[in-house]
Every structure is written in structure tokens, then in C-alpha cells.
């Protein structure tokens, strides 16, 4: 029985791997290098818990209130 359709790309990859069997070993080593890592779950949990919420407008950071010379927050302006 004939095989089902096989694209030119699939044929190329299969033939390439047959000619160069070390390619698959390199793929396995590359995956181990980049993806197969042990995760410290306690450290990840501490990291998540210590996150500071990001303000709505990140480029405006008034730690001690509005900057000097301004009349205050938008809420104070809307009251007046």
C-alpha cells in the first residue's frame, strides 16, 4: 500500500537526518541546554509573592505625593 502524501520539507528533513545522524544528538543536547532545567519552586513562589503591583501609568511615579508646584491629584481638582 502506498504511503500517504509527504511534503517536500518532510522528505528533506528525513533524508538530512539519515545522512547526518549526529543532527538528532545535537537537537537533544540543545534541548537539554535551553529547556530541560530544574526549577526551584520555593524560589519561584517567593518571587511571585514579592512582586510589587505595577501602577496604571508606569512613567509617573510620585512616591511622596504630587510634585511641588501642582495643585494636587485629579480627585482634588474635580471637587473644586
> What's the whole-number mean pLDDT along residues 51-74?
70
Domain layout of the chain by residue ranges: 1-37
Question: What mean pLDDT, rounded, does the chain reach?
Answer: 81
Cα angle: 8, vertex 9, 11; to 5 degrees? 65
| Residue 16 CB contacts under 8 Å (≥ 6 apart), including other chains | 23
pLDDT per residue as tens digits for the range 4-36: 899 999 999 999 999 999 999 999 999 988 888
23: left (phi over 0), alpha (psi -120 to 50) or beta: alpha
pTM over 0.85: no
C-alpha cell at 13: 528533513
Helix residue ranges per DSSP H, 1-80: 8-19, 22-34, 41-49, 74-79
Amino acid at each position: 500500500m502506498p504511503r500517504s502524501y509527504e511534503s517536500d520539507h518532510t522528505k528533506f528533513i528525513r533524508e538530512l537526518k539519515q545522512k547526518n545522524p549526529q543532527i538528532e544528538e545535537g537537537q537533544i543536547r540543545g534541548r537539554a541546554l535551553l529547556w530541560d532545567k530544574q526549577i526551584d519552586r520555593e524560589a519561584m513562589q517567593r518571587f511571585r509573592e514579592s512582586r510589587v503591583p505595577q501602577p496604571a501609568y508606569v512613567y509617573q511615579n510620585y512616591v511622596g505625593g504630587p510634585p511641588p508646584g501642582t495643585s494636587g491629584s485629579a480627585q482634588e481638582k474635580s471637587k473644586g
